[in-house]
Amino acid sequence: MRIIQLMLVFMLCGAGAAMAQANKQTLATAKIKVPTVQCNMCKDRIQRYFLKEEGVKSMVVDVKKKEATVKYYTDRTNIENIKTSIANAGYDADDVTANEDSYNALPKCCKKPEDGGGPVKKN
């Protein structure tokens, strides 16, 4: 009887260790070029959009460098999904162009200079 109990304990410990390995999450960091980011409003829009995105731990947009640094869990999402989400917010992301409807809904200051947008110039 003791041998059966001991074997049962070892099996449970082994199953617990296997489950702990399966739940181990890998955090990755990527930099994405966002050339259509014009102002802090653009930055805030993208960062706010990713607060609710599954698998994204953080998103930081640098307006001057026109670059987004994203930390994400590789078991929940991937870089292509993140780029597509940025495009769905209305901004270009590396090789993924912005969703046209989302881009048209952006405020004027967040649009490309060739479309009459860009930051408001102070006199």
pLDDT in tens, the chain (123 residues): 677 765 656 666 665 555 554 456 799 999 999 999 989 999 999 999 888 888 999 999 999 999 999 999 999 999 999 999 999 999 999 999 999 999 999 999 888 888 877 766 655
What pLDDT score was predicted for residue 115?
Answer: 81
Contacting residues for 60 by C-beta, under 8 A, at least 6 apart? 47, 68, 69, 70
Radius of gyration over alpha carbons of the chain, in Å?
22
Residues 6+ apart with CB under 8 A from 10: none
Listed residue (79, 39, 51) closest to 59, CA to CA = 51
CB atoms within 10 A of CB 91: 29
